């Protein structure tokens, strides 16, 4: 199985688009001036997602099912720094996000990252060799280091009801792995 076809959910299609890349700006990457910082998530928006149960990609209320997307370690611990998404938004991010879609894509170099960008201690720059989508119904949100510039939200997913994963082929494309049980 290959990566999902580029199907853009309506809520994600309605987001402001980055002119240079031609893709929707995820809710958590949109700055106050409606431009994007694809190298960092905006902590105030992440907090809003946690408090109001919003999708980190489209910014709309989450439904019954929600998806977390990350590497195998995040999935095994069910602990994420990025907010949950609608399952369709998570599927779209597999093709829209260059960092995920292409094995060789690297994060922005230091000189392109805003001076006020904070990297939480729990974050790793290492790119996983496999992306895991865990689908569940709920999560717990913990604010780490509240009321400090280093504060961030740790999302703890409830047990997954379904798990899907994608690995990179030798030519660097994502391919869905055979189904697995939670």
Task: Judge whether residue 14 has pLDDT over 70.
Answer: yes
Whole-angstrom CA distances from 57 to 13, 15, 80, 121 are: 10, 9, 14, 23
Q: Are strands 152-157 and 130-136 parallel, antiparallel or unpaired?
A: unpaired
Task: Judge whether residue 2 has pLDDT over 60.
Answer: no
Residue 1: pLDDT band with limits 50, 70, 90 = very low
Q: What is the DSSP letter of 36?
A: B
pLDDT at 169: 92
Which distant-in-sequence residues (6+ apart) come within 8 Å of 49 by Cβ?
27, 28, 55, 56, 59, 83, 84, 153
**163 vs 107, which has greater pLDDT?**
163
**113 vs 179, which has greater pLDDT?**
179
pLDDT tens digit string along 63-85? 999 999 999 999 999 999 999 99
**180 vs 127, which has greater pLDDT?**
127
pLDDT at 98: 81
Residue 32: pLDDT band with limits 50, 70, 90 = confident
pLDDT at 179: 80
Task: Judge whether residue 11 has pLDDT over 60.
Answer: yes
Please provide the average confidence, as pLDDT, over all residues in the chain: 83
Partner residues linked to 142 by β-bridges: 154
DSSP helix/strand/coil, 94? helix
Average pLDDT over residues 91-117: 69
pLDDT at 140: 95
Rounded to two decimals, the pTM is 0.83
pLDDT tens digit string along 106-118? 655 554 445 444 4
pLDDT at 85: 97
């Amino acid at each position: 199985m290959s990566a999902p076809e580029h199907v853009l959910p309506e809520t994600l299609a309605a987001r402001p688009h980055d002119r240079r890349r031609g893709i929707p700006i995820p809710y958590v990457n949109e700055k106050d001036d409606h431009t994007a910082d694809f190298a960092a998530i905006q902590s105030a928006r992440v907090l809003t997602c946690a408090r109001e149960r919003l999708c980190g990609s489209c910014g709309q209320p989450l439904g019954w099912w929600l998806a977390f997307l990350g590497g195998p370690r995040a999935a095994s611990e069910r602990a994420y720094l990025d907010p949950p998404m609608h399952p369709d938004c998570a599927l779209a991010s597999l093709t829209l996000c260059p960092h995920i879609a292409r094995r060789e894509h690297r994060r922005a170099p230091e000189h392109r990252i805003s001076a006020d960008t904070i990297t939480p201690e729990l974050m790793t720059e290492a790119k996983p060799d496999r992306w895991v989508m865990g689908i569940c119904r709920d999560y717990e949100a913990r604010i780490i280091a509240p009321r400090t510039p280093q504060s961030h939200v740790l999302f703890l997913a409830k047990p997954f009801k379904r798990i899907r994963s994608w690995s990179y082929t030798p030519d660097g494309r994502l391919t869905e792995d055979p189904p697995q049980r939670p």
